[in-house]
Amino acid sequence: LTQLFRPLDMLGMVYRTIRQGLIDMAEMFRLIDTEVEVADAPGAPALIVRRPSVTFDNVVFGYEPDRTILHGLSFEVPADSRVAIVGPSGAGKSTIARLLFRFYDPQGGRIMIDGQDIRKATQASVRAAIGIVPQDSVLFNDTIGYNIGYGREGSSQGEIETAARGAAISDLIDRLPQGFDTEVGERGLKLSGGEKQRVAIARTLLKNPPILLFDEATSALDTRTEQEILGTMRDVARDRTTISIAHRLSTIADSDVILVLDQGRLAEQGSHAELLRRGGLYAEMWARQAAESDEISEAAE
Ligand code: ATP
C-alpha cells in the first residue's frame, strides 16, 4: 500500500514546489528523484549579496553515507567572473550546482556566497540569489508572455518585453500573429530547444539574480543556435557572476577560469591557454573533442 501512496506524495511535493515558484529548480535537479530536504536553522538570517563571489571550502559530500562524491573540494569564483566547470560524465558537476542551490547541505566543509555560509542563511534567500538556465525548460500550456513573466511574479508587460529582447526572443514573438498572447506548449506553438532556452534566459532576466548558473544542453541544439544562445548568455552574464556547467569545451574556452573536475576532485584549474599548456586532462579532452568535430565535418562533406 505504501508503494501506492508514494507517487501521490511525490505529486504533492511537485505541486508544492511549483507553488513556491521553484519550477526551474525542479527541472534541473529532478526533484522527484530526491528525498532529502534541508531545513533552515531557527532564526536564520537572509543572505545579503553585495559582491556575489562563490567559495567552496573543503566540501565533502555524498548522496549516500557509504559513497563520497565530492572529496574535500575547494575553489573560488570571484564576483562578476565567468567560470566553467568541465569534466568527465559523473565527475560531480551537477552535484556542485545542487549544493550551491542548497538542495543538499555538505557533510564537511562550507559553501559561501559573498563570504556567508549558505547553510546558515535561509534557503529562500540563497535561491533568490541564483538564476538557473536549465538544459531543458518546462513550458506551461499558457501564453508566451505568461511563460516569460513567470520569472518574477507581478512583472509588467513592459518588463516582460524588455526581458524577451534581452534574451533575443522578441523577433520571434513579433512575428507571431498574437504576439505575447500566443499560446505555447501542447495546445499551441511548439518551441525548439533553443527557443525554450531563450524563454529560460528571459525568465532569469526578470528574476535579475546576481549569480547565474547555466547548464549547457548536452546535445539538443545545432551549432548555430548554440553559438547564438552563447552570445545571448554572454550579454546576460555581464556584471554578474556566471557558472557554466559545460559539456562541449568549445563553448567555454573563453571563460575567465575553467575548473576541471575528475571523480569529485579538482584536477586542474586555469584559463583555456594555461590548461592546454599544462597538457593534462583538459588538454586531452580538448584534443578528443577537436578530433570528434573534425570527423563530423569530414562526414558532412
Ligand atoms: P554528467 O556530465 O554526466 O551530467 P556530472 O559530472 O554532472 O555528470 P553528477 O550528476 O554530479 O555528475 O553525479 C556525480 C555522481 O553522483 C555520479 O556517480 C552519480 O551517479 C551520483 N549521483 C547523482 N545524483 C545522485 C542521487 N540523487 N543519488 C545518488 N547518487 C547520485
**DSSP codes joined into one string, 115-155:** TEETTTS-HHHHHHTEEEE-SS----SSBHHHHHHTTSTT-
pLDDT computed for residue 300 by the predictor? 60
> CA-CA-CA-CA torsion for 142, 145, 150, 151, nearest 10 degrees?
150
pLDDT computed for residue 11 by the predictor? 57
ipTM entry: 0.97
Burial class of residue 238, CB neighbours in 10 A (0-12, 13-18, 19+): exposed
**β-sheet bridge partners, residue 56:** 75, 111
**Sign of the C-alpha dihedral, residues 16, 22, 27, 31?**
negative
Mean pLDDT score of the chain: 84
- The answer to whether the CB of 71 falls within 8 A of the CB of 78 is no
Q: If you average pLDDT over residues 101-106, what whole number do you get?
A: 91
Which residues are CB-contacts of 253 (< 8 A; sequence separation ≥ 6)? 272
More confident residue, 154 or 114: 114
The residue whose CB lies within 8 Å of the most ligand 1 atoms, and thus the one to mutate among 63, 68, 266, is 63
* CA 84 – CA 206 distance, rounded (Å): 23
Burial class of residue 218, CB neighbours in 10 A (0-12, 13-18, 19+): exposed
Point out the ligand 1 atom lying closest to the alpha carbon of residue 98: 11
Closest C-alpha to 252, from 275, 280, 222, 284: 275
Round to the nearest angstrom and report the end-to-end CA distance of the chain. Answer: 59
| pLDDT tens-digit readout, 160-190 | 999 998 888 888 899 988 999 999 877 677 8
| Residue 275 vs residues 49, 76, 105, 107: alpha-carbon distances, Å | 31, 17, 31, 31
Whether the CB of 66 sits within 6 Å of ligand 1? no
12 CA from centroid of ligand 1 (Å): 25
pLDDT computed for residue 57 by the predictor? 97
Highest averaged pLDDT of the listed ranges 49-58, 137-146, 190-199, 246-255: 49-58
Point out the ligand 1 atom lying closest to the alpha carbon of residue 87: 6
pTM (two decimals): 0.81
pLDDT computed for residue 68 by the predictor? 96
Confidence of residue 35 (pLDDT cuts 50, 70, 90): very low
Point out the ligand 1 atom lying closest to the alpha carbon of residue 33: 27
Percent pLDDT > 90 in the chain is 48
| Weakest mean pLDDT among 34-48, 99-113, 269-283 | 34-48
Confidence of residue 12 (pLDDT cuts 50, 70, 90): low
- The answer to whether the CB of 172 falls within 8 A of the CB of 232 is no
Closest C-alpha to 96, from 256, 268, 244, 252: 244
Q: If you average pLDDT over residues 86-104, what whole number do you get?
A: 91
* CA 96 – CA 93 distance, rounded (Å): 5
Whether the CB of 69 sits within 6 Å of ligand 1? yes
Which residue is it, cell 499551441?
A: 188
Does the pLDDT value for residue 13 go beyond 60? no
Closest C-alpha to 235, from 205, 209, 257: 205
- Joined together, the cell numbers standing for residue 29 give 535537479
- The answer to whether the CB of 285 falls within 8 A of the CB of 84 is no
pLDDT computed for residue 8 by the predictor? 53
Point out the ligand 1 atom lying closest to the alpha carbon of residue 30: 27
Whether the CB of 135 sits within 6 Å of ligand 1? no
- Joined together, the cell numbers standing for residue 262 give 575528475
Q: If you average pLDDT over residues 187-214, what whole number do you get?
A: 86
* CA 96 – CA 261 distance, rounded (Å): 10
The residue whose CB lies within 8 Å of the most ligand 1 atoms, and thus the one to mutate among 33, 35, 64, 94, is 94
Point out the ligand 1 atom lying closest to the alpha carbon of residue 92: 11
- Joined together, the cell numbers standing for residue 222 give 545545432
